[in-house]
Amino acid sequence: QVQLVESGGGLVQAGGSLRLSCAASGTSFTINAMGWYRQAPGKQRELVATTTSGGSTNYADSVKGRFTISRDNAKNTVYLQMNSLKPEDTAVYYCNAEGWDYSRVLRESFRSWGQGTQVTVSP
C-alpha cells in the first residue's frame, strides 16, 4: 500500500505564495504520475496540476502562469509552488499518485490520495 503525506498548507493574503509538498511511502513501488487536485466548499474536486515520471506537466487553465509543479523522483515527492494566490484558490488540496505496487506476489496498479491540506487565501 502506497501512502501519501501532504504538508505546506495554511493561510495567506491574496498575492502571496505557498509551497505544498507530498511524499509517497510504501514497501516497493514505482510512480508513473503525481499531481494535485483541489476541492472548494460546495464544489467538485478539480485537477490543479500533474506531472509524469518523464517530466511532462499539465495545468488547469486557472493556475497556469501562477503555479508550478515539480517532482523529486529519488524522494518520491511532488511539490506545488503557488504564487500570486487569489481568494478563489481557497480549497482543500489533495495529492494524488498512480503507479505500480510490487509489495505482493503479483504487481498491482495503485492510485492513492493524500489526506488533504487546507489552503486559505484572504482578500
> What pLDDT score was predicted for residue 50?
97
> What pLDDT score was predicted for residue 104?
86
Q: Read off the pLDDT of each residue in 85-104 and give the average, rounded to a whole number.
A: 95
Q: Read off the pLDDT of each residue in 61-80 and give the average, rounded to a whole number.
A: 96
Q: Scanning the structure block, which residue is given the C-alpha cell 517532482? A: 71
pLDDT band at 53 (very low <50, low <70, confident <90, very high): confident
The single-letter code of the amino acid at 43 is K
Please state, in angstroms and as integers, the Cα–Cα distance from residue 75 to each residue in 33, 68, 72, following that order: 14, 18, 5
Per-residue pLDDT at 43 exceeds 90? yes
Q: What percentage of the chain has pLDDT greater than the value 90?
A: 88
DSSP the chain: --EEEEE--EEEETT--EEEEEEEE-SSEEEEEEEEEEE-TTS--EEEEEEETT--EEE-GGGTTTEEEEEEGGGTEEEEEE-S--GGG-EEEEEEEEEEE-SSSS-EEEEEE---EEEEEE-
Q: Read off the pLDDT of each residue in 23-43 and give the average, rounded to a whole number.
A: 94
Per-residue pLDDT at 88 exceeds 90? yes
